[in-house]
Amino acid sequence: MLKSKSRLRLIVVQAMVVSLFVTLFARLWYIQVVSGDGYQAAAQDNAVRDVELPAPRGLIVDAQGRPLVANRTSWVVTVDRDVLERLGATTQTAVLRRLAEQLGLPRAEVERRTRTCGEEGAPKPPRCWNGSPYEPVPVAEDVSQVLAATILEQTEDYPGVAAEARQVRAYPSPFGINAAHILGYNSPITQDELEAAEGHGEPVSPSSVVGRAGVESSYNRYLSGASGVREVAVDSMGRVIDEAAQTMPKPGQTLVTSIDAKVQALAERELDRSIRVARETFDDVTGRNYEADSGSVVVMDATNGRLVAMASYPQYDPNVWVGGISDGDLERLYSERAGTPLLSRAMQGLFAPGSTFKPVTAASALSNDYKVTDTLDCSSSLTVGSRVFKNYESAAYGPLTFAQALQLSCDTFFYRIAYAEWQRSGGDSGDTSIKDVLVEGAKAFGFGSKTGIDLPGEVAGRIADRRWKLSYWKANQDYYCKLGKEDGMDFLHIFAREFCIDGWRYRAGDAVNFAIGQGDTVLTPLQLAVAYGALSNGGTLWEPRVGKAIVNAQGRLVRRIAPEVAGRLPVTPGILRYLDQALLGTAKVGTMAWKMGGFPLDKVPIRSKTGTAEVFGKQTTSWVASYDLQYVVVMQISQGGTGSGTSGESVRKIWEALYGIDGEKVRVADALQPGAQPPRGLPTFHRNGSISPPPFDEASPSGGGDASTGPGDASPRSLDEKAR
């Protein structure tokens, strides 16, 4: 009985075995025959991997062809987490420990660096890895070649770890220039950018870098080139077992800028020196030395808006961005205590222009209700409404012409004009559609709107007109009305109460302050340079340009970056000539005269205007704006003291160097730029990689003279021939 039972059950077992194995065979048939195509495609995908061949980024050279930004080889250690995770916990730990020892880092730090952005414990962007977690993650950059060789040779000790040579930015820094604010920096592409760029069919990859500021950003599409791809057959550990197709990378193109390294270096040095001097100068008003927290210098070609130099203080070392910036460095760049070095004061700093604004007021006045023959009283003070507005140091000069008023920088002269214009245009009526003559004139000079420079991040500044006052009041009335209800008779509380009631009014005080570049009107040093450039060139407002041309890797011209006209001043040539002559006098008999003794003004006639702008709660901003027919030089130092006193000497030094002035002699041969003018042609790029400066045509007119030069570029013969 038991036997037959067990025999029966054996049959059941047998049936089960058969059914299980039939199932296996059915499944095998299903995978291999029914859905075989799909698995064969997956197998193909598995074994072939694309290896990116990064393109070297294009050079950035100055007007003479001196490299400002080049490339160098940097050894990068990467970790492939995908491979590492498959090794099991013990091996993984051992590999990371070994690697950390080699790198001289704690193991936890190496592990942290393998995390992608957004993961717990990952470093902050842009330090963290932005790419896919299945791509090798860089954990150490700029390691020694010896270390790289160790990792490459002992692959069995370092599974999933690789060392590769990458091209990173190098800064040859000719003549010691920094120019970080012009050049900008790069950082790895973000996931969003990558998706967007891929959507447009642009040649990007997760390891691409993108220009983030300066010309690196604005000319990124020329500089970046296109990376190549090598298709390789790989095994399960990602080791290459066979090579397939290959697309060569397309190197980035070269950007020729109009910057001259020599002038840039000088501008940076002089800015630095003046700031150091100012910090040792005592300020009578505040009773302490000048802070001189920041400053800038702009040197521009007045004939076409091309920038020759643009310095900003404080600077930063662009190398901090190379191979990924550290958290500490990044914090410092944005830190207010360190003076926010990332900010380019020349185009991102907003300052009241002070007296350098007076030529603008003068141009508007002369274009509307005044004649060049008019004189106005330069009294020691002027009462406007209930307030007394004083002249600088309460000086009184009696009746002055516009020219004299500009040279001596008389405030009350311009107060009178502003007060009269304000009354004429309807006083403090709330009508924001009223066109105030002086405000409209300032707008025509380009203030309150961006200059259109080919660098990202420029700010527009603002003109404190009726419309602005109303919007400012609307935005802040709640705060001030609340403040006004508190007890207190100090300035702030009194101001708050007044502001709460009718802070929107464009008062006479606002109008007179505006006329001398004080109050709430702020602008960038670059905007001032463009405006003075228009005074120099007969009324054309040029969009400032840093880029001059794009040249491909073979040295052929790809694209010429033409100067562009942003607008024309609505000022007659006669008035412009009058203002031009008036500003010539500043250096001879005006506020700059004490700094220009012995300068050969007859050979290099410098027109200039100084400015000492008062800033609420801070020390005065020092300004000097100057030009001749070739260049505009603007210098500004925040909390730096008086215009001529702090910046005058440096501005003179820059002019001297631009023309090769030695004492009273002008030696054009010693000028920083050959012929004392920006080169019209482009550098020649030779097949062997060397670069020679643009040809200098002795016959071309020297910028120092009064010979008028047209805008636009003369044809640079050398390069045109090459291009053909």
Neighbour tally for 210: CB within 10 Å: 18
Closest approach, Cβ 40 to another protein, in A, equals: 5
Considering the rule CB under 8 A, would residue 572 count as an interface residue with another protein? no
- The two tokens of residue 587 are 């250096």
Q: Is the dihedral of CA 305, 311, 315, 320 positive or negative?
A: positive
- Which segment (235-243, 486-494, 584-592, 711-719) binds another protein by CB under 8 A? 235-243
For another protein, which residue of 73, 124, 134, 570 counts as binding (CB under 8 A)?
134
Considering the rule CB under 8 A, would residue 714 count as an interface residue with another protein? no
Considering the rule CB under 8 A, would residue 6 count as an interface residue with another protein? yes
Q: Is the dihedral of CA 308, 313, 319, 322 positive or negative?
A: negative
Is residue 229 within 8 Å of residue 50, measured between CB atoms?
A: yes
Closest approach, Cβ 12 to another protein, in A, equals: 8
Considering the rule CB under 8 A, would residue 23 count as an interface residue with another protein? yes
- The two tokens of residue 273 are 């020196």
Is residue 681 within 8 Å of residue 718, measured between CB atoms?
A: yes
- Which segment (205-213, 228-236, 544-552, 713-721) binds another protein by CB under 8 A? 228-236
- Cross-strand bridge partners of residue 454: none
Percent helix, strand, coil in the chain, to 5, is 40, 20, 40
Considering the rule CB under 8 A, would residue 9 count as an interface residue with another protein? yes
Considering the rule CB under 8 A, would residue 17 count as an interface residue with another protein? yes
The site for another protein, by CB under 8 A, has a size of: 47
Q: Is the dihedral of CA 209, 211, 216, 217 positive or negative?
A: positive
Closest approach, Cβ 241 to another protein, in A, equals: 6
Closest approach, Cβ 54 to another protein, in A, equals: 25
Considering the rule CB under 8 A, would residue 423 count as an interface residue with another protein? no
Judged by beta carbon, residue 26 or residue 501, the one nearer another protein is 26
Helix axes 411-424, 437-444, angle to 10 degrees: 110
Judged by beta carbon, residue 38 or residue 488, the one nearer another protein is 38
Considering the rule CB under 8 A, would residue 91 count as an interface residue with another protein? no
SS3 478: helix
The whole-angstrom separation of Cα 538 and Cα 612 is 27
Considering the rule CB under 8 A, would residue 49 count as an interface residue with another protein? no
Considering the rule CB under 8 A, would residue 132 count as an interface residue with another protein? no
Considering the rule CB under 8 A, would residue 108 count as an interface residue with another protein? no
Spatial CB neighbours of 352, under 8 Å, sequence gap ≥ 6:
517, 518, 519, 521, 522, 613, 614, 615, 621
Considering the rule CB under 8 A, would residue 24 count as an interface residue with another protein? yes
Closest approach, Cβ 215 to another protein, in A, equals: 41
Judged by beta carbon, residue 87 or residue 229, the one nearer another protein is 87
Closest approach, Cβ 44 to another protein, in A, equals: 8
**Phi, psi for residue 339 in degrees, rounded to 5:** 85, 25
- Which segment (8-16, 390-398, 526-534, 579-587) binds another protein by CB under 8 A? 8-16
Considering the rule CB under 8 A, would residue 157 count as an interface residue with another protein? no
Q: Is the dihedral of CA 652, 655, 657, 661 positive or negative?
A: negative
**Phi, psi for residue 475 in degrees, rounded to 5:** -75, -25
The whole-angstrom separation of Cα 724 and Cα 313 is 43
Closest approach, Cβ 198 to another protein, in A, equals: 22
At position 588, the amino acid (one-letter code) is K
- Binding stretches for another protein (CB under 8 A): 1-3, 5-7, 9-14, 16-18, 20-21, 23-25, 27-29, 31-33, 35-36, 38-40, 42-43, 46-47, 82, 85-86, 88, 134, 156, 233-237, 241
